Amino acid sequence: AYFALQVIYARRKYKISPPETRGHPEFERIFRAQANCSEYFPIFISLLWVAGIFFHQGVAAACGLLYLYTRFKYFQGYAAAAQGRLGPMYASARLLWLLLGLAIAGLLAHFLLS
């Protein structure tokens, strides 16, 4: 919701009415950052859910909080400059891979050790 609100505020600030997605470069970066975060959210939620159920809730929750923080930093970095997104983007990708590993480990343990 925070990211969507930032797009709304940027639309007002730069006078860009929906459905336009072009305009001031800062608006375009904010809009793209929000779209990128929205695109990865279903993957994140799915991995978080499976890792939490089949591996460990606490570990999955910690990874989830770190992921949300890195996405927040990604959004802030991208809004300031396109290069500002790179560090947090790589960190969030590593956390998604970690959640995937936890989910697979949990599923394997559940189905192979049962």
Positions annotated as catalytic residues are: 12, 85
Distance CA 15, CA 9 (A): 10
Distance of CA 47 to the CA centre of its chain: 12
Contact yes or no for 82/29 (Cβ under 8 A) = yes
Contact yes or no for 110/55 (Cβ under 8 A) = no
Contact yes or no for 75/6 (Cβ under 8 A) = yes
Identity of residue 91: A
